[in-house]
Structure formats: C-alpha cells, structure tokens
Amino acid sequence: MTHQFAVLTQPQAETIAYTWHYEGDYSFYNMEADQDDLAEFLDVEQRGQSVFAITSDGELVGFVSVAPTDAETVDIGLGMKPDLTGNGSGRTFVTSILDFVKATYSPHRITLSVAAFNVRAIRVYETCGFKQTGSFQQSTNGSTFAFIQMERQESPQNQPF
C-alpha cells in the first residue's frame, strides 16, 4: 500500500474528528473524548503546517502530527482510520510515516508517546525500531492515564552531511 502525505485540510480534520470512532478501550482515541484536544485538532491555526493527512488511492487512511523538539529530534503523533486498525497493516503504515518524516525533516531521533494500555501499538512501534524510554501520567479525557515514551535513533547513513 502506497501512502501520500499532504497538509491536513479542514474538511479532513472534521472527518477525522467527527466520524472516526474506535471500539472498546480504543474509544480513548476518539477526538470527541477530550474537548480541548478536539478544539486544538480543529483549529487550523494551531495545526499549521505540522499535521499531515495520509491517503492511499485517494482515501483518507490516517494522519500524523510532526513537531521538531530540538535541532535533532522530531516528535510524532499519529492516527489510523478505525476500520483499518487491528488487521496487520500497522507496520506498513508506521514505516511510511517514518520514511516521510526522515525525508522531510532529517532527524537524528524520532519520539512518540502512546497510552500504556495500547499494547497493540507499542508492539508495532517496537517492530519499527522504537525503544521504550520512560513513562508519565497525563490528564486527558476526564481522567489521568499512563503513557509510554518511545524513541527511535536514526542511523548515521540516513543523515545529511
């Protein structure tokens, strides 16, 4: 599956925010579960040029936010369309995001945070070369949840000179 990346449009943001609904424990990731997160995601000024739609054959299949945290590190946040999750396509999806981030930002390190209960995602990230580096508690969705911090070091041959 080939993925294309373009800055997220307002209609795409609204589609994700209002129609992507996850089942069971994964409903934690529904945009409407936290009004502050929803407002931030829908605000074109706050999204700026740092949130990208991921499409395949013209269909919106995911998104990724990219935030450089220093000269060497890029932090990412991502989401996959609910009906595409849990079917074994996570590694291809994350690999395409990593390829895009490396080509666009040339980071030495890529970081992300994931809810600790999301063992399925953690396994995909580890398969894609991420290592767990810590944990923290975060208030969101009306409660406090444990998150795992993860990091992937990019190899020197991928770095510009």
pLDDT digits (tens, 9 = 90+) for 89-143: 999 999 999 999 999 999 999 999 999 999 999 999 999 999 999 999 998 877 7
- Burial environment of residue 118 by CB neighbours within 10 A (0 to 12, 13 to 18, 19 or more): middle
Q: Does residue 12 register a pLDDT over 50?
A: yes
Q: Does residue 148 register a pLDDT over 70?
A: yes
Tokens for 11? 């209609």
CB under 8 Å to 27, separation ≥6 — which residues?
A: 21, 33
- pTM beyond 0.85: yes
Domains (ranges, CATH) in the chain? 4-158 (3.40.630.30)
Q: pLDDT (tens digit, 9 = 90+) per residue, 40-95?
A: 999 999 999 999 999 999 999 999 999 999 999 999 999 999 999 999 999 999 99
- DSSP calls for 57-104: TTEEEEEEEEEE-SSSEEEEEEEE-GGGTTSS-HHHHHHHHHHHHHHH
